[in-house]
């Protein structure tokens, strides 16, 4: 609140990009999936700690990261799926969870999620399989 730098960063808009319209709220996601709830709770708690540290460059990076997935030339849902592909082929479970949840909230279907993960599987190889297994568990909870 008393930190003008942080609000400055947050207020800086990206031209011609739009905040997405979510089909589901984070609360609805947490109600459907225990995996998603645990992930979001842990992420929120840890992010509060990062937030308090108030590192200027980290805040800018978070802002840039947020803007990357806003709808522009590409619809937001495909950008989230691209984030999922990147996360899966770089093998980051937290990032996979995040983009699976965001894609779900934007109305992406389960077959669409699976096809995106398949791109990561073929590009990234069998080393992606343990992450695919865990992603499928989250998909099963969300889409049941």
Chain residues that interact with a copy of itself, rule: CB under 8 A: 5, 14-15, 43, 46-47, 49-50, 52-53, 55-58, 60-62, 64-65, 67-69, 72-74, 78-79, 81-83, 85-87, 89-92, 94-95, 109, 111-112, 114-116, 118-130, 132-134, 136-137, 139-140
Cβ–Cβ contacts within 10 Å for residue 68, how many?
A: 13
Residues 6+ apart with CB under 8 A from 19: 70
Closest CB 38 distance from a copy of itself, rounded Å: 14
Closer by beta carbon to a copy of itself, 1 or else 15: 15
Beta bridge partners of 18: 71
- Give the three-class secondary structure for 38: helix
Q: Nearer to a copy of itself by C-beta: 23 or 122? A: 122
CB-based contact 121:46 (threshold 8 Å): no
Maximum Cα interatomic distance, the chain, rounded to a whole number of Å = 49
- Using the minimum distance from each CB to a copy of itself, give the nearer residue, 1 or 111: 111
Residue 133 half-sphere exposure toward CB, CA atoms < 13 A: 4
CB-nearer residue toward a copy of itself: 29 or 88: 88
CB of 29 to a copy of itself, least distance (A): 18
């Amino acid at each position: 609140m008393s930190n003008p730098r942080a609000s400055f960063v947050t207020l800086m808009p990206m031209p011609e990009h739009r905040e997405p319209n979510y089909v589901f709220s984070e609360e609805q996601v947490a109600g459907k999936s225990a995996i998603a709830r645990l992930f979001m709770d842990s992420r929120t708690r840890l992010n509060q700690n990062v937030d308090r540290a108030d590192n200027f460059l980290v805040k800018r990076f978070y802002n840039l990261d947020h803007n990357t997935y806003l709808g522009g030339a590409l619809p937001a849902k495909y950008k989230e799926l691209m984030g999922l592909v990147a996360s899966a082929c770089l093998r980051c479970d937290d990032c996979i969870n995040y983009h699976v949840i965001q894609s779900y909230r934007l109305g992406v279907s389960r077959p669409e999620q699976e096809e995106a993960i398949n791109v990561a599987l073929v590009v990234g190889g069998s080393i992606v399989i343990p992450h695919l297994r865990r992603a499928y568990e989250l998909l099963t909870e969300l889409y049941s």
